[in-house]
Each structure stands twice: as C-alpha cells, then as structure tokens.
Structure 1
C-alpha cells in the first residue's frame, strides 16, 4: 500500500510538471518586485506569514498572499494596497473507501488546485512557502518556481510528518512517506528560514538543509493596553460574555455616573478609569484545540485552584479566557459546561484580530499548552504575550528555554499539579505587585525585546533583495 501511495504521488507530480510545461509556453517573463506568500491553510490563523507579507509590502514589494479564506486576516493586511489576497478553496473529499485512498485523492486534488491558483497570479520573483503543511505544497511550488524562474524560500515552522505521527504513529507508512517527501523536496529550495536554533541544527544535520533562524517576534501592535482601552474592550466583551459583566464582583450597585465591567470602572464625569476593588484575576490561554495541546492540564489545574479558594486561601477569583479555533473545541466546551466552579468563570470566545492583542495586553497571566510535535518549534502565542509584557506559565518541552526563561519572564510546568501550584504562588494576595508575577512583568518591560520589523529587516530581507529594486 505504501508503494502504491508513493507511485501515485510520483504520477501526480509528473502530471503537474507536464501541465506547467504546457502553461509555460508563451507566458511573459518578469516578476522583479513581486513575491508570493503561500499558506496551504487559514490565512487569518497564520500570523507569521501575515507579518512576512506586511514586511515585504512595506519595502515596496507587490505581494500575492495565497491561502484558505477561513478567518479574516488582520486589518493591516486587508487595507494594504501592496497586498493582494488570493483565496484557495478548501476541498471536501467524499468519505468513502479506505482512508489512505481518501488521503491520496486529497493530495492530488490539492496539488492541481494549488498549481492552478499559482498560475492565476502575476509571475513572482520569489515564493515564500509556509511549512507545514508541506504535502503537497513543497513539490508543487518547487516545480512552479523551476519553470517560472522564481526563487523558492521555505519558512519551516515545524515538520509536517511529526504532526501526522500524533495521529498515525511514527512508523505508519503515510508518516514515513511524508518524512521522505518533506526532506527530499525541502532540499530543493533556494533558501530556508526556521523558527529556532534547535531546528536550524536539525535541518542541517538530518536533512542537509541550511537555514537561517528568524525567531518569532511580536508585531508592534502587541503591547500593554492602556487602562482606558481595557475598559472599552471589557465593556464590548460584556455584551456577549457573562464573565466580563460587572455583577461578577459582589459590590453595591454603582451610581449612575459610574460604568463598570468585571475588572474596571469608569467615572463618567471625570473620564477616569480605575481597576475595581476585589476584581478577579484575568487568565488567558490561546489554543488551537489540537492533539499537541492537552487542554485537560489546564482544566485540572483550575479544579485544584478552586479547591484552594474553597479552603480559604488568599487568592482572587479567576476569569479564564481561552481563545482559538480547532477540532477539539466542541469536546472541551462540553467538559467546561459540566464544571460547577464557584470562584472561576471560563469563556471561549473567538476574538477579532484587533481585539486579541488588546486582551493580551489587559490580562494578568498567560498559560501556554503547546508541546510541539517535533520539540523544535516555539509557540508564537507566548511571543505575543511577551510583546504585551504578559508573564507566562508554559508546558515544558525540548527547546522552550530559547523563549521562556525560568523565573525571569515566566515559569514552565510538566503537569496539572505543578501548574496549579504556580497559579497559587503567582496569584497569592493578588493584585499586589511585590510578588513573582509583578517581578516577571517588570523584567519583560525592561527587556526591550526586539520587534518583528527590526528582526525581519536584519535577518530575512537580504534574501529578497538580490535582483529586486528597492
């Protein structure tokens, strides 16, 4: 079966090459100053590729930004005159026959669809491709670049085959084929970018692929949110989500000249915004609701935290906000609905792109459950939190130390019990700022971390500058 799958893929690739050769005849040359940024996924949920597109557009490049419609990208992408959004329609394969043949059919159809979409755009001088997903996009884009005389740059966020192994196991034939495919076609790229030094070393040693490391950095709009903006955001969210409403904190009914959320209050006469006395702590976790993020760890830690409160610990009530979309969201929402917390409220909103950084900049603590299928990538959600000077508790994995500095900007944990103890320690006698939580935030404020634009300019832009007019 594995041999049949491999032959099918080879046949599909040969067909694509033939189609490209036929199309190439008579096509105009050119492409200087044009870059295609390609994601075989949801454009709105691909922040790093959005940042690439914006950085290129700011340097005068004409950018075709290709991917699935799904979630709306950031407004700066939509309003930028140098960026053309080109949607790739998501395929729905009939669920008939063996799964392996369903998968092969999907790969072939996606290959044809991606190729067709690439041929509808103006010839690019460079194509910047996100990996994963790399099957079938790497081979298709490589063939396109070969015949259109474009340069292929792969941005390695992770390895696709390691993600597949979470479902099928490492020794499954499909996983083995995907590994071979990713390594073989990855070596045919002109340039490579990766997200950690650990991945850079792994690409060199195990795949003979030379890459430069571009750490994820927060965009300029990830920053601490002023208190007045926090209040406006909380009042907006209170319209749809009960945890943000003022009655969460038991106080007397405010006079008519005071407007309250669960966390803030506005003196309408003076316009002054303050935190409410006895407010809950705001905990935020951004998740993709997939198998590489064990959300049950957070739920169990919250159960332990609830127990601490019930025993009279000097801890604040919690509002826990979990953002994101993913295949397991409905399952976990049912588990959340079955909980009967007295001191903790949980909501799982999907936020507008502009509201997400504002909420991070308003929170008291972030929690990251990303484990990494390869152990070689870093969670961008933590990068965004750090951009907002938000301390983080993150589940431990191999190269996390490249981002989270233990006892400096956050803490790492291995299980729910350890996370619960960290929540207890960090929120002890909240909202006093003398403890660890305040120390971590002060460290983040003084770190003066490099932002995306500066890092990209130094590291990545030289790859695109050859042969393109500034």
Structure 2
C-alpha cells in the first residue's frame, strides 16, 4: 500500500487545500478553458511501468490519434511499444523529499500527501499546456486522485473517465477493519468523488452492478475486461531455449544444482536441447556439430514440470496455500515414485515472480522446508524459487510454463487478477484461488481449475502434471488457442486488449462524429417529390456510388448542397474514398414497407443473417431465467412472447379514444391461445409460458397482464438502463422475442415485424399479428 493510501487520516488537510484552490480560482473569475484538440491525460498514482492496464490505455489512445500524456512515477521501464509512439508524452511526478522518510509517520504522511497533491495539480494544470479532452484515472488509489481530477475537470473543461480496478476503501479495510473510522471516511470520499464522471470503466460485471446499485454512478458505464496484449503468446521451443539461456544466472542456485537435468549452454538448457549436442557426443568438435544440424531446439523429455505464480507478496495473496500444496505434492511424489507399478509424478519447479513486503519471510520458510531444516525430510521432487524478470521475459516465461497459479483474493470480491489474463494470453491454463466473481474469467474445466485450499490445489497439481502432462492439461491449453477474430464476437477471454478497447472505448471517446451531409437528388425516391413517403430503391441510391452519376449530382450544388458539419463547419463531399448512406430505413426493393412481405430482399438476403452477439444472448439468458424463475443449469422452457406497442402509436389514433384504438389484452390473449393450439397440434409443444413486452408505462395495465398469468421482463427492477445503457431495454426485449417458439405482435410495428420474421425463420415458430385502430380491428 502506498504512503498516500496509508495517509487517509489527513483528509481534512487535503480537502482544505482543494477548497482554497477552488476559492482562489472562483474569486479571480478565471474563464474556463476548453480542450483545443484531441488529447488525453492518463493518470497513474504509482510506477508507470508497473501499471500495465494504464499503459495499454495510453497506447490505445495514441494509436487513435490522441496526444497522450502519461502521468505517474518513474521506476520500471514501460513497455517498448508504448515508448516508440510519437504521440505519447511521459510526465513524471516528483517524488517526495528523501528526508521525509526519516520523520515520524504522523508528521511525514501528511507532508507526502501535500507534496503529491501539488505535484499532480502542477502537472495537470501547468505542464500540460492545452486542456486535455479526457482525463482517465485508475482507482484505487482514491485519495487524493479522485478529488484532484474532479477539480481539474471543473477548471479546464476536461471529461473524467474513472477506471475502477478495485475499491480503495476495501484495501484499507484489510489492515484496519471494515468499521474503522478511517475506512468509513475513505468510503465516503470514494463514493462522493467517484460518483460523477463522464464515463466509468469496470474490470468486471460484478463491480459495475455493485457500484451502480450502491453508489448510483452517473455517466456512461461500461465493462472493459482486462485482456492480454497482442504480443503475448505460447512460447515456441526456440523462444523457451533463448529464455533459459538468459536466465542461467538466476537458475545457478545451490538448491537447483542437483535438481535440474544437466545442461550444456548454448546447446541445451534444463528445459530444451538441440537435436545433437557436444553433451551427447563429446568427441566431436563443436564446429562439426554446428555444420550438420539446424539450430531448432526441442523440449527435453526429462525436463521438470514448470509452474509459475506471479504475486505481490502482500497479505491479500496467501502464499502459504501454494507452499502447503507443494509440500503435499512432494509427499505424493515420494510415495508414487517409490512404487514401480504406480504412475510417477515429475519433478516440479515452481517459479514465483514479483516483489513485495512478505517475499523474504516466505522464501526463508521455503528454504527451510526444501532443506529439511524445519525437521522434515529434505525435498527431492519439488523446488521453489523467486525470480524478478525483465518485462520482455515475463510473457516468455508464462508461455514456456506448464501451469499458472493464481493466489489472488479480491479485497472487494469485485475485481479480477490481471496475472491470470496474462497467463491466458500466453496459452497457459491456471489453477486459481476461488472468490465471488472469478467465473467471469476462469471457466472451471475449460481454461483452468478453481481451488479453495491447499489440499485441493495439491490434488489439481497431481492430476494436471502427472502422466507426462495429462490430457486434462492439454484440453485446458487447447481452449486458450486464439481463433481468428469474428465480426461481432464478444467472447473477450480470447481476444486482445486492442480489440476489446476498440469495441468498448472507441464509441465513448470518438462518439462526437462531425458529419457533413450532401442532399440526395429527388429522383432516388419511389415517388419523386412526394414528401409523405421517403421510400427509395436500392439501385436508385446505388447509382450515387458510381462516378458519372455522382459527379453530375455534385456539379449542381444548388439543387444538391453539401451542408457544413454542425460542430466545426467542415464541408466534405462524397468521393471515391468515402461515401456513406444515412438512414436506410426506407430503402426497399420494389415497394414501400415490403419488410413484412415474404419476398422482402432486405430480410431474405441480409437481415435474416444478422444474429445477436454472444454477449447479448448470455445477458438475455439471465433475464429470461429470472423472468420465468428457471434455476441456473435447467433448460429454459418453450415460451411465447407478445409485443404490444402502445406509446407512440397513439398519434395515429385520430379521434378514436386510446383504449378503443389499441387492442385490449383479451384480444392479445385470443391470439396467444391460437398460437398455443397450433404449437400443440403441429409441433406437439406445450408452450404455457408467456412474456409480455411493451412500451406501456401504466402500471395498472401491467397489473392486468400479471392477472393473465403472463410474465414481464421488468427493466426498472433490473436497472437495465443504469447497468447497460439507454437502448438495452428494447435490445434485450428483441433478443427474448427472437428466442421464443411463438410470437404475437402489433400490426404496422417494425419491431414486431422483425420479431415475427426471426421466430418464423430462425426457430420454425408460430406467429400472429394483432390489428388496431378501432375496437373491432382484430375481429375474426
């Protein structure tokens, strides 16, 4: 935990400084500046090089043409790809004076926080000359960063994006307890200054749901799961060979001297070997050997099993679980390997990476157990060492290992371990300590296994590493092979950070598209000059994509003007490189409103192939289970959906009273009964479950729906808008409708028409349409 996190108690001092700064600015009536160009400040209150997610943010912004100011402390070397980008500017914060460390904590902590506040404000207000359009800040730490970026946003007109990695107060509670006054104050601070932002990013759905419900966050709210960078991959034998040649000094430990298989660098390492080496034929000169084999290393059959665990060596990662599991593995290997008839367990090398306060304590204990100094038998089959790797070697070690171990236990139970994402990116299955939302990342039996104690972990090590690296391990590893990206695919575990960022963040930061429109000629319409029908044919507008017609149209600027864009007044006419058609709702093949006809080319050749993404399908699955009270694991029964469109259609009722214009629930019930009878007769399906979807806001009407025994996807209760966005209620209704075996819709509603076509063509279902406009419209 940083000094700033420990120094929560000088909260009054920090707030006082902020208030004074605000008062000075206010009373001098300094005009607020506006961002001059596309730019972003990425604030890391820590070592930039040890903040991978924020470095990935900076790289993504820079590759999208943002001037990117990466602010934080110097220390570890940033990733090389980031340092090579000309739009990335590193602005390092000044460290507190060294003499403060010699002062008592109660004196030094407030001064360090004050120094930090001044350094951050000076960087954001002075060193960045032009106001950044966005300021993205990671949380935690919450104090003082959330208050500072709020203040800077007020002064400079920037938009704040909070990247919620975890909850700062929950980390403080690990040391002080949930009810400590400082924890309660920190929670109030974090909630107040974290509530309002232009956008909130979350590492898990669980964190988003919790914060939306508990803190009522304002602004855009999106889940941006961690993903591995694109260059992470499963290491080839050649890469593994080069890696362990570089790690010779780190492996030259007395405890490993007789444990690892003999090797002869550069021809072999404990894990790899050339096809022919001086070690195998010492009489041959090395020059002759180099001449008659290609330098293609292979993995050695006698190599030990290699597991890797990356840890921060802090109390929230219980290393004793791994240590106990290794001791149990040693005992099992001693027993099994002494029995010639039993399946043997391989030797096991555990490499633990990372730095932290508990490292020396645990590694002393490891040394005692391995040597037998603690009173037990010396270990023969297991070794555990700690290594600190260069940034470029870390993914290669993960890609060379057999298994990854995660000991992460979330202080909030709402975040996910980045180390597991890195492991998956390198094709490395994991055994992970279980906690509440881990299943958003680790799929039991698919890409890893979950344990809750040392006994379970030891059993998993035996299962996965025995029998020459078991078929179970190979199955887990095969699930991590990255497929080629598929348009619309939302299975985030297997993609890259760049793919996920572009899908999630680009719409937030590039949403203000400034469009210059050119008016299409009147002859594109089916009825030229008729203002009450905008229908146009495909080929009439397609003519504008070809040079002769387009040039003729653009030549008559008076009849077909190109409007300046609304924001910057830019004028851009369609050309060979860029031509876009806007608002294709009324485009048809032969006649208006033909989407409801069986010959509709738009449906037959295009729309029927537009399937909902996996993410939406999985989201709708949860809604359907809760709506129909179906337990997880049980199949959702066949159901019928009803779409009663009532809100905006009232303008078409003319002088007919609303209740007489729209069909009654009894009319819909009659059509539902027809669908149920046809499903039973033709398909032998008993569909008793009915879900009503509607834009009706009258709760009395919905009470009548419930009296019919029908269900409702209640988006108010589900907080659909707050959790997912304004469009999600209708989107999830559409997904639910498309999965039904029957459908009853509203005449002249495009929403109903598309649902009807989906149920018919996708599911082979039974459909009906209810007419409306007067009391007897649907009489039959």
User: Normalising by structure 2, what TM-score?
Assistant: 0.56
Aligned residue for 1:240, secondary structure, equals helix
Please point out which of 108, 111, 114 is paired with 2:120: 114
1:452 aligned residue: 497
Distance 1:98 1:387, change over 3 A: closer
Q: 1:23, 1:77 → 2: CA distance? A: 40
Q: Which runs of 4+ in 1 moved over 6 A?
A: 243-247
Indicate the structure (1 or 2) with the bigger Cα radius of gyration. 2
Would you say the 8 A contact 1:246–1:260 is kept in 2? Answer: no
1:190-211 Cα distance to aligned partner (Å, 9 max, x none): 2111110000101100010152
Query: CA deviation digits over 1:386-422, x for unaligned, max 9?
Result: 1111110000000001110111111111111111111
Equivalent residues in 2 for 1:15-414 (5 A)? 15-18=20-23, 25=30, 29-91=34-96, 93-94=100-101, 96=103, 99=106, 102-119=108-125, 120-122=127-129, 123-210=131-218, 211-242=221-252, 248-250=259-261, 259-267=267-275, 268=290, 269-313=293-337, 314-340=344-370, 341-414=379-452
Moved more, 282-291 or 364-373: 282-291
- Residues 280 and 317, structure 1, Cα contact 8 Å, conserved in 2: yes
What SS does structure 2 have at the residue aligned with 1:239?
helix
Q: Kindly indicate whether the alpha-carbon contact (under 8 Å) linking 2:35 and 2:156 is maintained by their aligned counterparts in 1.
A: no
CA distance in 1, matches of 2:368, 2:389: 24
Q: Which has the higher contact order (CA 8 A, sep 6+)?
A: 1
**Deviations for 1:231-282, whole angstroms, at most 9, x for unmatched residues?**
001111113323798964446x76x9x7111100124532121111211011
CA drift of 1:38 comes to: 0.5
Question: For 1:36-65, what per-residue CA distance to the aligned partner results, in whole angstroms no more than 9, with x for missing partners?
Answer: 111101111111111111111111111110
Does structure 1 residue 465 correspond to structure 2 residue 520? no
- 8 Å Cα contact 2:166/2:415 also seen in 1: yes
SS in 1 for 2:435: coil
Residue 358 to residue 283, structure 1, CA distance change in 2 (3 Å): same
On the 8 A contact 2:8/2:186 being kept in 1, the answer is no
1:131 to partner: Cα distance: 0.5
Mapped partners of 1:3, 1:107: distance in 2:
9
What is the CA-CA distance between 1:90 and the residue it aligns to?
Answer: 3.2
CA gap of 1:19–1:317, structure 2 versus 1, over 3 A, is: farther
Aligned to 2:540: none
The offset of 1:96, in angstroms, is 4.5
Deviations 1:286-320 (A, max 9, x none): 11111111111111111111111222341111111
The corresponding residue for 2:477 is 441
Tell me, in whole angstroms, the C-alpha distance in 2 between the residues paired with 1:20 and 1:369: 48
Match of 2:580 in 1: none
Report the Cα offset of residue 344 of structure 1. Answer: 2.1
**Distance of aligned partners of 1:394 and 1:12 in 2 relative to their CA distance in 1, 3 Å threshold:** same
Flag the 1:23–1:304 CA change in 2: closer, same or farther, 3 A: farther
Query: Number of aligned pairs?
Result: 463
CA contact (8 A) 1:198 1:376 kept: yes
Unpaired runs of 5+ in structure 2? Answer: 1-6, 276-289, 338-343, 371-378, 485-493, 516-780
Q: Please say which of residues 421-430 and 339-348 is displaced more in the overlay.
A: 339-348
Deviation for aligned residue 1:15: 2.7
How well do the aligned residues superpose, as a CA RMSD in angstroms? Answer: 2.7
SS at match of 1:155: strand
Choose which of 13, 27, 32 in structure 2 pairs with 1:8: 13
Query: How has the CA–CA distance of structure 1 residues 104 and 24 changed in structure 2, closer, same or farther, with 3 Å as cutoff?
Result: farther
